[in-house]
Amino acid sequence: MNTQTALDAEATGGTESTGTVAPAANLRIWQKLQKVPFGNWLFTRAVCFKVPYFRTVHPLIHELRPGLCRVSAPNRRGVHNHLGTYHAIASCNMAEIAAGVMVDATIPPTHRWIPMGMTVEYKSKSTTGVTSIARLDAIPEFGDEPMEVVVPVEVLDADGQVYVSAEITMYVSRKKSA
């Protein structure tokens, strides 16, 4: 489903005559919070409340739409390794935040997801704040059959150089009926 179809579905009460569904609840919340001061901060805090480990990098979600999420985090002592650079696992945490929030905003509300695995390549070190970008160039059709979606994520330093790249495999399936 493309973004416009999803937005049209939301405007018509959740479904169109074609049977498409409204965007996921978290994407609707994000869209509403974009209209209020500190909306990005409020949304990010809610995500970190739901997934407490994300708080360790002090993230801030800047952009969210189906197929894209951009998150930043400051350079601070709590994310340093023994060399004083951005820690590898903190970088993985940034990749997982971007990928997870993006997938949650991309799949229909009838589906669920869970990470299955992550492949990471450490290209260089970073001594700055970082930004992670998860992007799907093509959004798959989500049906009844479970599927694996590989989410590419780039983690960039303050100069815009990719210092970590990751591919996170997400298992997406239809939610069980209650």
Q: Which residues of 62-77 are buried (b: 16+ CB within 10 A; e: fewer)?
A: eebbbbbbbbbbebee
Token match 């901060």: residue?
Answer: 41
Structural domain spans, the chain:
3-13+22-140+147-174
Give the global pTM: 0.84
Q: Which CATH number among 3.10.129.10, 3.90.1170.50, 3.30.70.1450, 1.10.1740.10 corresponds to the domain 3-13+22-140+147-174?
A: 3.10.129.10
What is the pLDDT confidence band of residue 61, given thresholds at 50, 70 and 90?
A: very high
pLDDT of 112-136, one tens digit each? Answer: 999 999 999 999 999 999 999 999 9
